């Protein structure tokens, strides 16, 4: 009941709901998982996915939303911020960008917010056709627990991120509301700086 209330409030406020689900299987499985116990196809507007199983994941997710009369967008993981991740294998990011640029279900890409130089390279490959969102940012930068790495949100936006994804920087803060405002201010000011305003 409280989740339905949240979704209704988001809709009333004209806000999109982002589900960082990271679908990674073939299209049929991704479609079926969207309609599973959480029925994310009925409330999530944007979701993440790996392309490791091929572009059918995009088709399956589009079909999942379509099965309930909705449209949604997929953010493909082109990079990750975690240490030692296999998306750094040569050619992988290029293949993801090529597949995603041409697919109507691909809203954009997930880039590495902890490494501004890698993010800038991704922006060059993507161009301005699709968005890039970046996890791995924090106002306190450096290595964290279990392989997590954090970069500066301002540097990420200046390097090409259109939106930052912040988790622990907000939910582990002493005052999550103030922390969220700080991240919003920092990222907005960086977007203004990047656009020359």
Q: Which of 9, 22, 117, 143 is catalytic?
A: 22
Instruction: Pick the closest to residue 47 from 81, 36, 191, 4 (CA basis).
Output: 36
Q: Domains in the chain, start-ordered, CATH in brackets?
A: 17-195 (3.20.20.70)
The predicted-structure confidence for 147-177, as pLDDT tens digits, reads as follows 778 899 999 999 999 999 999 899 999 999 9
Return the bridge partners of 73, or none. Answer: 46
Q: CA–CA separation, 169 vs 186, rounded Å?
A: 13
Q: Which of 9, 11, 12, 25 is catalytic?
A: 25
Please state the pTM of the whole predicted model: 0.92
Active site residue 94: no
Inter-residue contact 151 to 114 (CB < 8 Å): yes
């Amino acid at each position: 009941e409280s989740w339905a209330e949240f979704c209704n409030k988001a809709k009333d406020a004209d806000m999109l709901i982002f589900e960082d689900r990271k679908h990674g299987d073939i299209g049929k499985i991704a479609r079926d998982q969207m309609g599973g116990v959480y029925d994310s196809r009925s409330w999530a507007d944007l979701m993440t996915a790996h392309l490791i199983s091929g572009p059918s994941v995009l088709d399956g997710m589009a079909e999942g939303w379509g099965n309930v009369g909705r449209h949604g967008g997929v953010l493909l993981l082109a990079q990750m911020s975690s240490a030692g991740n296999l998306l750094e294998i040569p050619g992988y990011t290029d293949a993801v960008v090529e597949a995603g640029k041409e697919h109507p279900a691909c809203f954009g890409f997930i880039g590495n917010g902890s490494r501004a130089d890698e993010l800038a390279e991704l922006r060059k490959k993507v161009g301005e056709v699709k968005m890039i969102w970046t996890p791995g940012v924090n106002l306190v930068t450096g290595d964290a627990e279990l392989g997590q790495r954090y970069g500066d949100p301002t540097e990420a936006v200046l390097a090409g991120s259109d939106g930052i994804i912040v988790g622990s920087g907000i939910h582990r803060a002493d005052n999550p509301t103030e922390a969220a405002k700080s991240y919003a201010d920092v990222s907005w000011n960086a977007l203004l700086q990047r656009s020359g305003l």
